[in-house]
Structure 1
């Protein structure tokens, strides 16, 4: 098992390094294009002046027009590079606001050699993730942020969350430490810049897309390898059965929330001008009362969540991850209190209010359109 893990790590490291170097090359190319336009503009300044001195007004106007075009093109090309890493989008939790959660994170950090987390955030999705970004967007000290979804906190127990946390720390120590963090930063920066280039300059963007087509496929492959590698290290720290249990629990709860809970929330728009139920405020009770756990024991995950990831997936399927861990797809027994109740209890009213308000701002137009359509039907 250790030999297989080391082999996987070597493949992943080579792929990450190659993609990082390719990303650096792409960014250098875009920077060269921007500097080239600015160099052309600079050379035209003297030509415009000389034409004016010589009384060649038409030549001066043409040079000035070319200068303006070159500056504009240089600014557009520079704008492609102006794509700093995303900032965390959520509520930052200082230690004094969530002491139990920070203690849990620190204990897990010590099990991974003291890997550092600079800030902990609560976000609005069903996920936990490590986000790294240079302090000033493009450069500076690399900062590490741990993002924890409020929906996830309502869905797993503290024990199951420890396995999820172990998986995220495994990403950090294996794939986001030292130079590895900068390879990841360059890859993400390059793909953001490429997207902007494709939008603004179809001809150039098309050429760069063809040049980087294999890079995108390799990035998908790298992402899947990183998930398997992080699962393997997390299993060494907290045990493969607990990692597998957490994976199944998250998959079951995520399906319940997306296909049942949120669907019922939006169904209110057929007869209510505004939601009667505030989704994040009621989520804990909704999961407890509405989630119907399958009978404990083995469950055929293959028919529910798929057997193999498609070529466009950045993550392996649940079934693939369980198979790699060599654990059965067992439905976990109903646990004790959720992470939200144990570690975030006093904060839940405030967090729910913040995310409910943000959700309504995003959903209000769609909600009202549904309501009007139902009234007219």
Structure 2
């Protein structure tokens, strides 16, 4: 039986920082709740006073109370609309357990070793990443429900062992940071950030003051996110081994760079040239990665240099993560079988068809927009 591991605290600051940010988020949300209730109470009081003034034959006072009721009602509605910002639902294609039993067995085994509940909701997306999300059952409130989103390009880019290391990293977030009150705190912090963003979107004149007020909070959130990544890396490495964890990080970074810089620009250029593109990028993704990706030391050096230049990235740079694991960057050995072939083989044609249809639709929309802009430029020049 595989041995279990316990999350170890790498940074004493992490718990303190998470606690302080959670209290700040709870205070901000509580203040908005009080303001919303106060505005709603004032609305009801103004409506009652307006009706009393009408019965007393005081039309001027009735009009003033009615105006106050309208203003207070608008304020309460606006505040409620800002406050009730539910987290986004899981995106992608829901993966039934019976269709990917080996994948769910891997997830169950990893969850047992981490001491967490099994992840029962898995979605396949068209992104080059994996992500664990927790969402309250009833939008903003309710028991937290966990789901895992796995990118099809990611599965095509990694070996089964590397893929297992990435999944261990994602589930390590739950074990180290999202159990019990830790999950509630993460939900409150995310809720507060969504509330601030929505307030800035709905009331543009508040954008600059809100940015100044929340600047230190956002920097602290960025700091916490990076600490949590180091912690999840260390916990996952204790399950799968430091070497395999390092290989997975390097492989993800290099394949993501290849897809972003080489594969997708060529695909988009093909779609832009043809009225009805025949290319099916997600069906041919495995072949594209295998044929176009080169395993050279120079590629690794470039990737390390570029990853270290993102100042406000949520994740630490690849160089920092490898250094924290005590590893040097090395070229992982390629394998003939990918994680997609190992865990999703029966579903690959159906998944590729859905994502290809979405790509065709997006390419068609882009062509229509370009034609519209071109016609607009011609009319404006005339």
Residue of structure 1 in register with 2:308 after alignment: 307
Moved more, 235-244 or 359-368: 359-368
Structure-1 residue corresponding to 2:275: 273
Q: 1:314 to 1:270 in 2, by over 3 A?
A: closer
Structure 1 residue 363, shift from structure 2 partner: 3.4
1:153 and 1:340 in contact (8 A); partners too: yes
TM-score, normalised with respect to structure 1: 0.92
2:349 corresponds in structure 1 to 349
- Matching residue of 1:103: 105
Q: 1:365 — aligned with what?
A: 365
Q: In the alignment, what sits opposite 1:337?
A: 337
Whether 2:41 is the aligned partner of 1:34: answer no
Secondary structure of 1:281's counterpart equals coil
Kept in 2, the 8 Å contact 1:270–1:371? The answer is no
State the shift of 1:354 in Å: 1.2
Is the aligned partner of 1:192 residue 2:194? yes
Could you tell me how far 1:197 is from its partner in structure 2?
A: 1.2
For residues 42-121 of structure 1, the aligned pairs below 5 Å read 42-121=44-123
Pairwise CA distance, 1:233: 0.9
Which of residues 13, 16, 21 is equivalent to 2:15?
A: 13
For the pair 1:234 / 2:253, whether they are aligned, the reply is: no
Deviation at 1:206, TM superposition (A): 4.4
Tell me what 1:151 maps to.
153
> Offset of 1:76 from its aligned partner?
0.7
Q: 2:3 — aligned with what?
A: none
Offset of residue 271 of structure 1? 2.6
Does the CA-based 8 Å contact 1:115-1:173 persist in structure 2?
no
Distance (whole Å) between structure 2 residues aligned to residue 315 and residue 352 of structure 1: 29
Q: What's the TM-score, normalizing by structure 2? A: 0.91
- Structure 2 unaligned spans of 5+: 1-6, 378-382
**More displaced, 359-368 or 314-323?**
359-368
Tell me the matched-pair count.
371
- Give the Cα–Cα distance (whole angstroms) in 2 for the partners of residues 41 and 335 of structure 1: 67
In the TM superposition, residue 186 of structure 1 has moved relative to its aligned partner by 0.4
Alpha carbons of structure 1 residues 370 and 48: separation in structure 2 relative to 1, 3 Å: closer
Change (3 A) 1:205 1:256: closer
**For residues 25 and 114 of structure 1, what CA distance do their matches in structure 2 show?**
30
- How far apart are the structure 1 equivalents of 2:137 and 2:260? 34
Q: 2:162 is matched with which residue?
A: 160
Structure 1 stretch displaced more, 144-153 or 208-217: 208-217
Aligned partners of 2:138 and 2:34: how far apart in 1?
Answer: 22
- Within 2, Cα distance between the matches of 1:306 and 1:209? 26
Deviation at 1:234, TM superposition (A): 1.0
What residue in structure 2 maps to residue 253 of structure 1? 255
**Contact 2:121–2:146 (8 Å) recurs in 1:** yes
- Secondary structure of 2:342's counterpart equals helix
How far apart, CA to CA, are the structure 2 residues paired with 1:24 and 1:256?
42
Look up the match of 1:222: 224
Residue in 1 that maps onto 2:380: none
Shift of 1:370: 5.2
What per-residue deviation string (whole Å, max 9, x for no partner) do you get for residues 175-217 of structure 1?
1111000111001111111111122234555444433221100
Matched with 1:263 is 265
Q: Does the aligned pair in 1 maintain the 2:126–2:355 contact within 8 Å? A: yes
Report Cα offsets for 1:160-188 as digits up to 9, x if no partner: 01111111121110011110001110011
| 1:285-317 Cα shifts (integer Å, max 9, x gaps) | 11122222226x99535754343651x221100
Q: CA RMSD in A?
A: 2.4
Which runs of 5 or more structure 1 residues have no equivalent in the other structure?
A: none
Shift of residue 31, structure 1, vs aligned partner: 1.3
Q: 1:205 to 1:77 in 2, by over 3 A?
A: farther
Check whether the contact 1:12–1:222 (CA below 8 A) recurs between aligned residues: yes
Q: Distance in 1 between matches of 2:303 and 2:257?
A: 14
